[in-house]
């Protein structure tokens, strides 16, 4: 996109375009799908229905001409009808008129039959391509998704899928048959009127097609600009709404509205230019066609006056020309729609060509977890060249043991969890599980063996049960409830009006931070993996709940290999080994008591956290004393047990209790 700010990797991708020829080439297999004889049969039947519609279309003007000739001949006494009549009209013109009406009906019926038959093919292709795109997005690296703009990406896919539908309906079913119809009309005109008329039609068609293609190509750049403006505006809108609370915190509603309006202003200009050029295109087409039609009708009028043609021929050339206008105008529209559909699809196909950074080796085998021993061996890693995050890290997590990783912010703690999940490949060294290098096993089996409770829990906008069951979709209802009980959240869920069917909202925003984290813990408990990864799993919990969750996690972690990323050191004092990171290197490791005795970085971090905890305790005691004094004064001042309670205060206490 043409942002005024530097673009991320995914933004640059979203502004890229695949060649239109390659787009069409990749689209064809979705229409003629190998192994799907039912769909292939539908393609053939749709073409048969279309050809029949074209044949009937050509027969209609002939019936019209013959009816007119018969009637005008009767009026002139040159061929009075004898025998049976219907409504006072000779049987022959009646039959011709009826044939004319039947032909027009059949034109519509065959066209509708074609659409009904081919719709299954079109929608199946749309579904297949949309599913392929969705799967491909999930195969892309974490780096891509961290840099993407969700709103813009969604818009690209939406336009691309609509473009597929447009091209399949317009190009496959109409472009080639319309060209065939033009050839058939040319033959009909040559047979009835001569090659002079064909020459006029040829000049008109060539001028019409050239002007249509020329004007359409000029409009494509405007269309691309409009698409990019639409993508930019949608990206900013979605991003702003996802960060609704942040906007409110800083009172920046006007700023967000101005940013969105600036993008929409660019879209507005492009849209106005698009429709202005469309008006120019339609006007030019009308002028070219009308000129050709007038020339042909003047020639026909001359030939009728000279006795070369009949009045029916004059009517027929008019009907043919009007009928010719339909495929011509349709061809112009088809070309416009195809080109615009290709523009809409270009970015989506460029997205499909984005390579996945993390891929399984062709001979990758499923991970076999016997004991769950983890080992980092001389691991070095950098997100970007020149900015190393981990520097020659080596440590082991014995089977069934808990190892904690602590250190200052930015030391590389969370990077270790991402490497273990193989969201990134290490630059140097190796990570093994039970002696198997994680780069040599399938990603699916690796991630199935590890349970993750992240620091920042984001839930699906669905029910609480769905979010817990996500850990193991085939789990029974009893297993889901047991996982919730172990995570200390079942009581909260059952107290809700809709219980486990309660919706959690976008990204789980209807729940508090602690409640979201307990849902995440329940989800991991339900997964029951042999290896646990806890990235500050209790960071959003109060002290009392933290103790309960820690007890539950200790039960879950029993006999499982556990790697804990911790900021609050009090949560890992019972770990079998504590690794202290600083600037990407291991500076200390050992048990809690041993590290305190060393009086190094860990001891310094512990002392600072103890001071902060003591300060919080003093504030909490002061608040309790203040509350007690207020309650005492309230009772002594009122002198009656019926004195109403302060509603605001009660609400505040309930909120504190629920958190």
Which has the higher per-residue pLDDT, 293 or 386?
A: 293
Please give the Cα distance from 228 to 4 (Å, whole number).
13
Coil, helix or strand at residue 503: strand
- Alpha carbons within 13 angstroms on the beta-carbon side of residue 80 total 5
Q: At 16, phi and psi to the nearest 5?
A: -80, 165
Which has the higher per-residue pLDDT, 335 or 11?
A: 335
Mean pLDDT check: name the lowest of 161-175, 396-410, 598-612. 161-175
- One domain for residues 591 and 456: yes
Please enumerate in sequence order all residues whose Cβ is within 8 A of that of 398, keeping only pairs 6 or more positions apart, or say none. Answer: 373, 561, 576
- One domain for residues 309 and 430: no
Alpha helix (H) ranges present in 407-500? 413-420, 443-448, 464-469, 477-486, 490-495
Task: Count up the domains in the chain and report the number.
Answer: 2
- Does residue 658 have a pLDDT over 80? no
Contact of 484 with 493, CB cutoff 8 Å: yes
* Residues of the chain above pLDDT 90, percent: 5
* Arithmetic mean of pLDDT over the chain: 76
CATH number at residue 92: 1.20.1560.10
| pLDDT tens digits along 6-65 | 344 344 344 444 455 666 666 777 677 766 777 778 878 887 887 787 778 777 777 777
Please give the Cα distance from 544 to 573 (Å, whole number).
17
| pLDDT tens digits along 242-258 | 777 677 766 778 888 88
State the pLDDT at residue 632: 61
- One domain for residues 319 and 403: no
- One domain for residues 328 and 436: no
Please give the Cα distance from 570 to 578 (Å, whole number).
12
Coil, helix or strand at residue 436: strand
State the pLDDT at residue 20: 57
State the pLDDT at residue 23: 64
The DSSP code for 438 is G
Task: Report yes or no on 641 lying in a domain.
Answer: no
- One domain for residues 110 and 25: yes
- One domain for residues 331 and 387: no
State the pLDDT at residue 378: 92
Average pLDDT of the residues in 482-493: 86
| pLDDT tens digits along 439-452 | 999 988 998 888 88
| pLDDT tens digits along 400-437 | 888 999 888 778 888 888 889 888 888 899 999 998 99
The sheet with strand 402-406 has its strands ordered as 450-453, 531-535, 561-565, 402-406, 577-582, 585-590
Which has the higher per-residue pLDDT, 557 or 500?
A: 500
Which has the higher per-residue pLDDT, 574 or 33?
A: 574
State the pLDDT at residue 81: 44
Task: Report yes or no on 624 lying in a domain.
Answer: no
Residue 571's DSSP bridge partners are none
Q: Which residue has the tokens 């609400």?
A: 651
- One domain for residues 443 and 551: yes
- Does residue 77 have a pLDDT over 70? no
| pLDDT tens digits along 86-127 | 554 567 667 777 777 787 788 788 878 877 888 788 778 778
Alpha helix (H) ranges present in 533-600? 543-557, 592-598
- Predicted TM-score (pTM) of this structure: 0.59
State the pLDDT at residue 3: 35
| pLDDT tens digits along 605-628 | 888 877 766 666 677 667 666 766
- One domain for residues 342 and 379: no
Range of the structural domain that residue 39 is part of? 9-352
Task: Report yes or no on 198 lying in a domain.
Answer: yes
- One domain for residues 430 and 510: yes
State the pLDDT at residue 104: 77
Which has the higher per-residue pLDDT, 354 or 194?
A: 194
- Does residue 604 have a pLDDT over 60? yes
CATH number at residue 385: 3.40.50.300
Q: Give the rounded distance of the alpha carbon of 423 from its chain centre.
A: 21
| pLDDT tens digits along 195-206 | 888 888 889 888
**Residue 654 binned pLDDT confidence (cut-offs 50, 70, 90):** very low
The residue out of 296, 319, 352 marking a domain boundary is 352
Task: Report yes or no on 329 lying in a domain.
Answer: yes
Residue 64: closest CA among 86, 95, 89: 95
Question: CA-based angle 7:13:16, to the nearest 5?
Answer: 110
**Residue 315 binned pLDDT confidence (cut-offs 50, 70, 90):** confident
CA 145 → CA 11, 62, 139, 458, distances in Å?
Answer: 11, 62, 10, 15
Contact of 406 with 605, CB cutoff 8 Å: yes
Task: Report yes or no on 649 lying in a domain.
Answer: no
- One domain for residues 418 and 333: no
State the pLDDT at residue 472: 87
Beta strand 577-582 with 561-565 is: unpaired
């Amino acid at each position: 996109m043409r942002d005024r700010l530097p673009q991320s990797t995914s933004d640059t991708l979203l502004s890229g375009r695949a060649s239109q020829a390659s787009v069409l080439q990749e689209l064809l297999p979705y229409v003629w799908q190998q192994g799907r004889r039912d769909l292939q049969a539908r393609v053939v039947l749709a073409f048969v229905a279309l050809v029949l519609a074209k044949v009937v279309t050509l027969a209609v003007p002939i019936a019209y001409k013959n009816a007119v000739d018969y009637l005008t001949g009767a009026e002139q006494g040159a061929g009075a009808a004898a025998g049976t009549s219907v409504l006072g009209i000779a049987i022959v013109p009646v039959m011709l008129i009826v044939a004319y009406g039947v032909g027009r009906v059949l034109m519509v019926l065959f066209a509708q039959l074609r659409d009904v038959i081919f719709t299954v093919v079109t929608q199946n292709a749309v579904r297949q391509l949309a599913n392929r795109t969705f799967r491909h997005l999930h195969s892309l690296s974490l780096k891509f998704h961290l840099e993407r703009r969700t709103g813009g990406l969604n818009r690209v896919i939406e336009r691309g899928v609509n473009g597929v539908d447009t091209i399949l309906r317009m190009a496959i079913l109409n472009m080639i048959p319309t060209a065939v119809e033009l050839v058939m009309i040319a033959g009909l005109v040559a047979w009835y009127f001569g090659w002079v008329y064909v020459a006029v039609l040829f000049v008109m068609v060539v001028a019409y097609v050239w002007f249509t293609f020329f004007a359409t190509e000029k409009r494509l750049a405007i269309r691309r600009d409009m698409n990019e403006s639409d993508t930019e505006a949608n990206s900013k809108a979605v991003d702003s709404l996802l960060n609704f609370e942040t906007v409110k915190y800083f009172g920046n509603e006007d700023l967000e509205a101005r940013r969105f309006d600036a993008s929409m202003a660019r879209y507005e200009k492009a849209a106005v230019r698009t429709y202005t050029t469309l008006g120019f295109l339609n006007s030019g087409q009308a002028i070219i066609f009308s000129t050709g039609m007038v020339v042909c009708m003047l020639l026909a009028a001359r030939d009728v006056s000279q006795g070369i043609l009949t009045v029916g021929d004059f009517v027929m050339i008019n009907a043919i020309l009007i009928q010719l206008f339909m495929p011509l105008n349709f061809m112009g529209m088809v070309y416009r729609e195809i080109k615009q559909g290709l523009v809409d699809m270009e970015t989506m196909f460029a997205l499909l060509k984005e390579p996945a950074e993390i891929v399984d080796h062709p001979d990758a085998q499923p991970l076999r977890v016997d004991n769950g021993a983890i080992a980092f061996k001389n691991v070095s890693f950098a997100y970007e060249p020149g900015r190393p995050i981990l520097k020659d890290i080596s440590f082991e997590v014995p089977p069934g043991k808990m190892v904690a990783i602590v250190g200052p912010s930015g030391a590389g703690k969370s990077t270790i969890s991402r490497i273990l999940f193989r969201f990134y490949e290490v630059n140097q060294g190796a990570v093994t599980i039970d002696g198997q290098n994680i780069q040599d096993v399938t990603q699916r089996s690796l991630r199935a063996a590890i349970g993750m409770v992240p620091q920042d829990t984001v839930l699906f906008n669905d029910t609480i049960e769905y979010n817990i069951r996500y850990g193991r979709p085939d789990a029974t209802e009893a297993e889901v409830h047991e996982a919730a009980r172990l995570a200390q959240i079942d009581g909260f869920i059952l107290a809700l009006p809709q219980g486990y069917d309660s919706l959690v909202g976008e990204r789980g925003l209807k729940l508090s931070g602690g409640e979201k984290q307990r849902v995440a813990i329940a989800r991991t408990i339900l997964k029951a993996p042999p290896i646990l990864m806890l990235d500050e799993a209790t960071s959003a919990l109060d002290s009392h709940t933290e103790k309960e969750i820690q007890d539950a996690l200790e039960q879950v972690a029993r006999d499982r290999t556990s790697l804990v990323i911790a900021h609050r050191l009090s949560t890992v004092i019972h770990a079998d080994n504590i690794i202290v990171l600083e600037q990407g290197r291991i500076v200390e490791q050992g048990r809690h008591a041993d590290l305190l005795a060393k009086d190094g970085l860990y001891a310094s971090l512990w002392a600072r956290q103890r001071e902060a905890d003591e300060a919080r305790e003093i504030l909490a005691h002061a608040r309790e004393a203040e509350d007690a004094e207020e309650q005492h004064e309230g009772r002594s001042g009122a002198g009656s047990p019926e004195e109403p309670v302060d509603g605001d205060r009660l609400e505040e206490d309930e909120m504190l209790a629920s958190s």
